[in-house]
Amino acid sequence: MNPILANPEITTPAFIIERSVVRKNCDAMREKAQRSGVVFRPHVKTHKTAEIARMQFGGGTGPITVSTLAEAEFFADHGFDDITYAVPVGPGKLERAAALAKRIKRLNLLMDSFAALQAMEEFSVRQGTRFNVFLKVDCGYHRAGVDPESQEAVQLAMKMANATGVHFQGLLTHAGHSYHTHNVDEIRKIAKQETSALTGFQNKLQEQGISQLTRSIGSTPTASVVERFSDTDDVRPGNYVFFDVFQAAIGSCDLSQCAVSVLATVIGSYPQHRHLLVDAGALALSKDAGPDHLDSDCGFGVVCDLNLHRLPMKLKVLSQEHGKIEAEPDVIAKYPVGTRLRILPNHSCLTAAMYDVYHVVENSQLLDQCRPIRGW
């Protein structure tokens, strides 16, 4: 039993981080990057805290990836001075980006269109700023990025290389379609697409005289299943620090590597209806349906006891402050009103974002409380 989690001073629902698991996850990914000889530029959007970003580097700081300018500014304030903002930047945010770029060693921005390049060029003329930019490349996810097989992509890259308003740094892709897989073999195939899309495009651009481009990849599924990183220069996984039920379902990790859970209290027991209620609802867990392409029927998370042993229960419905868990009457009888349970979330990034404070535990001790940056 984990006595600290039974302590009523931790109000439920609460977001609990197992530090030893985070440390293992962090060390494994960092060591893989080191032995592969690539730049390790982990994403920090999953946790958004300075404390855990430092754990990603085994203490200290290093190059990071962020998903909002608010994160970029927060981490800059905490000594992280080499930052990639890995979402295409809207023209209305260039002024804030320029102010940030002035106070750190390096800020990399992302673009994938002539329109975005033109906006940056015009900004550059007006403000005398020259941004470091990556060209976003679509490796098959089809969310953002240029098609590396297209002539237009080559033309945009050439225009970026010749632009006076930007420093063209490299090619960046995100293999988000690795989340739509069913197993490790399928993830491995996508990991190949991810690197070959960039390397093929890099070669094509080299023929046009554009050289020294950095290739940047990153998704937790692909980064988790490869033995080592090859055909790339810079890697940006993020979710791996916590992992979650989704990642376990597709094979990026197993459930024992899930480092975070939501602590909840049973507030209602209805054996006649084969369900119980906990005080962790949609605001405590987020409403991510999980890997529904798998028919895994995991519901809105995996229900465990305080020792993180999985229970024969299904979290089927979330309303704002209620979680409805289905179980057989004999199981329900063992967890009366007042009992605390732990729920492994489907999507740790979205669940973490519901909390102003995280509780960090290890060996049944509450070690720390840390506060993420929020908003945009």
**Which lies closer to its own copies via its Cβ, residue 14 or residue 306?**
14
Question: d(Cα 275, Cα 33) in Å, to the nearest integer?
Answer: 45
Q: How far is the CB of 45 from its own copies (least distance, A)?
A: 6
Question: d(Cα 88, Cα 156) in Å, to the nearest integer?
Answer: 15
Residues 290, 347: contact at Cβ < 8 Å? yes
By CB under 8 A, what part of segment 12-71 binds its own copies?
Answer: 12-14, 45, 67-69
Residue whose C-alpha is closest to residue 331's, from 310, 317, 308? 310
Question: d(Cα 71, Cα 85) in Å, to the nearest integer?
Answer: 9
Q: Contacting its own copies (CB under 8 A), which of 357, 363, 364, 367?
A: 357
Task: Walk across the sheet containing 131-136 and list its strands.
Answer: 39-40, 234-235, 214-217, 166-172, 131-136, 106-111, 82-85, 64-66
Q: Contacting its own copies (CB under 8 A), which of 247, 288, 306, 342?
A: 288
* Burial class, 188, CB count within 10 angstroms (exposed 0-12 / middle 13-18 / buried 19+): middle
236 binds its own copies (CB under 8 A): no
Stretch that binds its own copies, among 29-37, 210-218, 241-249, 332-340 (CB under 8 A): 332-340
Q: Contacting its own copies (CB under 8 A), which of 39, 87, 308, 311?
A: 87
Q: Cα–Cα distances in Å, from 229 out to 23, 28, 197, 243?
A: 20, 13, 15, 19
Stretch that binds its own copies, among 91-99, 194-202, 228-236, 326-334 (CB under 8 A): 91-99
125 binds its own copies (CB under 8 A): no
Q: Contacting its own copies (CB under 8 A), which of 24, 54, 78, 93?
A: 93
Two tokens, residue 25: 């996850």
287 binds its own copies (CB under 8 A): yes
Question: d(Cα 332, Cα 325) in Å, to the nearest integer?
Answer: 9
349 binds its own copies (CB under 8 A): yes
**Residues in contact with its own copies by the rule CB under 8 A:** 8, 11-14, 45, 67-69, 87-93, 95-96, 112-113, 115-116, 119, 142-144, 147, 176, 265-270, 272-273, 277, 279, 282-284, 286-289, 317, 319-322, 324, 336-338, 349-350, 353-357, 374-376
